[in-house]
């Protein structure tokens, strides 16, 4: 099969922009038979120092302050959008309307309406749309989905997904875009719970209804200029002013899945002592599966007919689990976070090559429809907190 070059641009030169650029470069190393060879040729970034750092890291790329310049380039065929949440809708729609394939980070805007608008633009303009729900690309998670689908743990009865971390735990974390509803949406819901909802949907199917409560743990943040998740300033400085945090640090939701199982989704961005403590477990009538993000190559599995006293074993990811074989030759060699984004890049490129516009082949990659489903659940969590009632998802 002939190989074609795919000129790519990245909008947003922060940490995730670098992850996307590296993922494009690595995809062809792990899948040398890919019919497309991506090449990052441009970056759009409003902060000059960040743009220059990106160019220095990723070679001969054109640097633009305005993201619209990227879309005006007729040679660019695909665009990665790693800009802040409040820009997702405007940029995502514009990318699709420019006829360029779109790889956009979650949560795709601030609410369901934003995700729907980008989805509709992707479908109307016949381009591929891929969304950054990368935890479904972990081989152990793919194995968990297969085990559940095969009925090895019986009928799923209840599940839990947790996403606890501490990037916002320090009171000196500056009041950036993440803490304002107009720019960061509903805080930890879009940032972390969106992944939790997607993981539950990936292994158990759609959500029927839910009830939720949220909380703000640190109500004020210092008003200073700073960049990055983990920036901290001196809160004892008498010259520092503070702003009121507008969105959620914590959410806990009880979800009723359409398949009948109950699930808990809990996320906290200000959890002292927790560093990216993400986990998924599903219990069934004959066993369980349990996965810990910080031990990504392992899956705890209990399956059989012993019921009481039935042991739980740890199995290691191996070729045949998701895309593990493209990275490692045998079991027990763990993959990392960036590897899941390389898988995402490969799925995006494959969808472009095979013409899976609008949606995707079954299970190939997370689409804008998945972003809409996640955003629908997140909106329902906000509504449930406000009303104190169960909310049914349409």
Q: 156 and 275 share a domain?
A: yes
Take residue 308 and report the two structure tokens written for it: 């009481």
Using the Cα atoms of residue 11, residue 15, residue 19 and residue 25 in order, give the sign of their dihedral. positive
Q: 240 and 330 share a domain?
A: yes
**358 lies in a domain?**
yes
Q: 89 and 163 share a domain?
A: no
Q: 122 and 9 share a domain?
A: yes
**26 lies in a domain?**
yes
Measured between alpha carbons, how far is 314 from 301 in angstroms, rounded to an integer?
6
**286 lies in a domain?**
yes
What is the pLDDT at residue 96?
98
**353 lies in a domain?**
yes
Whether the predicted model's global pTM rises above the 0.85 cut = yes
Residue-number span of the structural domain to which 15 is assigned: 4-135+344-364
Measured between alpha carbons, how far is 262 from 157 in angstroms, rounded to an integer?
6
Which stretches of the chain score pLDDT less than 70? 1-2, 226-229, 357-364
Q: 90 and 161 share a domain?
A: no
Contact between 81 and 88 under an 8 Å Cβ cutoff? The reply is: yes
**374 lies in a domain?**
no
What is the pLDDT at residue 219?
96
Q: 166 and 253 share a domain?
A: yes
**262 lies in a domain?**
yes
Please report, for the domain that includes residue 67, its CATH number: 3.40.50.720
- Asked if the peptide bond before residue 228 counts as cis, ω within 30 degrees of 0, the response is no
What is the pLDDT at residue 1?
53
**33 lies in a domain?**
yes
Residue carrying the six token digits 């409040």: 86
**376 lies in a domain?**
no
Q: 130 and 168 share a domain?
A: no
Q: 181 and 323 share a domain?
A: yes
Strand 62-64 relative to strand 78-81: parallel, antiparallel, unpaired? unpaired
Contact between 54 and 61 under an 8 Å Cβ cutoff? The reply is: yes
Q: 181 and 314 share a domain?
A: yes
Domain count, the chain: 2
């Amino acid at each position: 099969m002939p190989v074609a070059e795919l000129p790519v641009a990245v909008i947003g030169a922060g940490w995730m922009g670098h992850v996307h650029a590296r993922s494009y470069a690595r995809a062809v190393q792990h899948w040398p038979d890919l019919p497309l060879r991506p090449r990052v040729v441009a970056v759009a970034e409003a902060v000059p120092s960040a743009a220059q750092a990106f160019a220095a890291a990723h070679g001969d790329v054109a640097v633009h302050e305005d993201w619209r310049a990227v879309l005006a380039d007729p040679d660019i065929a695909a665009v990665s959008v790693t800009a802040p949440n409040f820009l997702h809708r405007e940029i995502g729609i514009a990318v699709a309307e420019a006829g360029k394939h779109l790889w956009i980070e979650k949560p795709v805007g601030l609410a369901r309406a934003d995700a729907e608008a980008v989805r509709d633009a992707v479908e109307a303009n016949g381009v591929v749309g891929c969304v950054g729900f990368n935890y479904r690309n972990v081989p152990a998670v793919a194995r968990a989905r297969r085990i559940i689908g095969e009925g090895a743990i019986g009928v799923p009865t209840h599940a839990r997904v947790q996403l606890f971390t501490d990037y916002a735990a320090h009171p000196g974390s500056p009041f950036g875009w993440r803490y304002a509803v107009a720019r960061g949406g509903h805080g930890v819901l879009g940032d972390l719970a969106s992944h939790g909802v997607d993981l539950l949907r990936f292994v158990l199917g759609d959500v029927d209804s839910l009830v939720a409560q949220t909380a703000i743990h640190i109500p004020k943040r210092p008003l200073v200029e700073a960049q990055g998740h983990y920036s901290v300033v001196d809160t004892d400085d008498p010259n520092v002013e503070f702003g009121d945090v507008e969105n959620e640090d914590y959410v806990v939701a009880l979800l009723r899945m359409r398949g009948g199982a109950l699930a808990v989704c809990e996320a906290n961005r200000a959890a002292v002592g927790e560093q990216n403590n993400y986990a998924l477990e599903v219990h069934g009538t004959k066993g369980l599966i349990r996965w810990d993000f910080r031990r990504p190559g392992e899956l705890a599995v209990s399956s059989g007919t012993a019921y009481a006293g039935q042991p739980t074993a740890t199995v290691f990811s191996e070729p045949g689990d998701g895309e593990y074989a493209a990275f490692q030759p045998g079991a027990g060699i763990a993959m990392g976070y960036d590897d899941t984004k390389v898988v995402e890049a490969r799925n995006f490129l494959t969808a472009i090559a095979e013409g899976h516009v609008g949606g995707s082949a079954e299970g190939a990659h997370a689409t804008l429809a998945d972003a809409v489903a996640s955003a629908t659940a997140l909106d329902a969590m906000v509504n449930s907190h406000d009303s104190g009632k169960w909310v049914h998802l349409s």
